[in-house]
């Protein structure tokens, strides 16, 4: 069974940094494109970033470009999201997802990031 487990969420002050991790199991991680999607409290889904199977290609939403970095370690079956210069509006549940737009899509349960002073 596919399992994606996010960790690293928490409370951080505006301007601070945080790194999210997503540990994958039950799948061939190195064959999956991976994404981060977030959902602010009471709001809709917002795509944040994606990375290709090998990690060679990365994609970002304009709202996080230059502040967030997506990466992966295929030897550890783990996806990362390094977040810098965090803003109040980055407060959200962050989900990692496998193959977001395809038949094999699978989501983690999410990690809450709260940016507040």
Partner 1 sequence: QSVLTQPPSASGTPGQGVTISCSGGYSNIGSHSVIWFQQLPGTAPKPLIYFNDQRPSGVPDRFSGSKSGTSASLAISGLQSDDEADYYCATWDVSLNGVVFGGGTKLTVL
When asked if residue 95 is in the footprint of partner 1 (CB under 8 A), the reply is: yes
The helix/strand/coil state of 90 is: helix
Helices and strands of the chain, counted as H and E runs: 0, 11
Which position among 2, 46, 53, 112 is part of the footprint of partner 1 (CB under 8 A)?
A: 46
User: Which one, 16 or 47, has the nearer CB to partner 1?
Assistant: 47
Q: Confirm if 77 and 94 have CB atoms less than 8 A apart.
A: no
Q: Which residues bind partner 1 (CB under 8 A)?
A: 35, 37, 44-47, 50, 59-62, 95, 100-103, 105, 107-110
């Amino acid at each position: 069974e596919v399992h994606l487990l996010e960790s690293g969420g928490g409370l951080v002050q505006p301007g601070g940094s945080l790194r999210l991790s997503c540990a994958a199991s039950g799948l061939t991680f190195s064959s999956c494109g991976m994404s981060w999607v977030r959902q602010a409290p009471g709001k809709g889904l917002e795509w944040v970033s994606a990375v290709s199977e090998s990690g060679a290609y990365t994609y970002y939403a304009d709202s996080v470009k230059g502040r967030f970095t997506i990466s992966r370690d295929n030897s550890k079956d783990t996806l990362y999201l390094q977040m810098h210069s965090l803003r109040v509006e980055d407060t959200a549940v962050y989900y990692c997802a496998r193959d977001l737009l395809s038949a094999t899509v699978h989501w983690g349960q999410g990690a809450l990031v709260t940016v507040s002073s």
